Amino acid sequence: MKKVLIPLAQGCEELEAITLIDLLRRAGTEVITAGLDCEPVICSRKTVLVADTTLDKVLNHQFDLIALPGGLPGADHLRDDPRIIELLQKHWQQNKYIAAICAAPKALAKAGLLENKKATAFPGVLESLNLKTTDISDSAIEQDGNLITSRGPGTAMDFALALIKLLLGSEAMQNVAKQMVRE
Q: 57 and 33 in contact (C-beta within 8 Å)?
A: no
Q: Does residue 66 sit in helix, strand or coil?
A: strand
- 12, 38, 43, 102: the catalytic one is 102
If you count DSSP H runs as helices and E runs as strands, how many of each does the chain have, helices first?
Answer: 7, 11
Cα separation values, 183 from 17, 27, 64, 171, 175, Å:
22, 16, 27, 13, 9
Say if residues 74 and 124 touch (Cβ distance below 8 Å): no
43 is catalytic: no
Question: Which positions are annotated as active-site residues?
Answer: 102
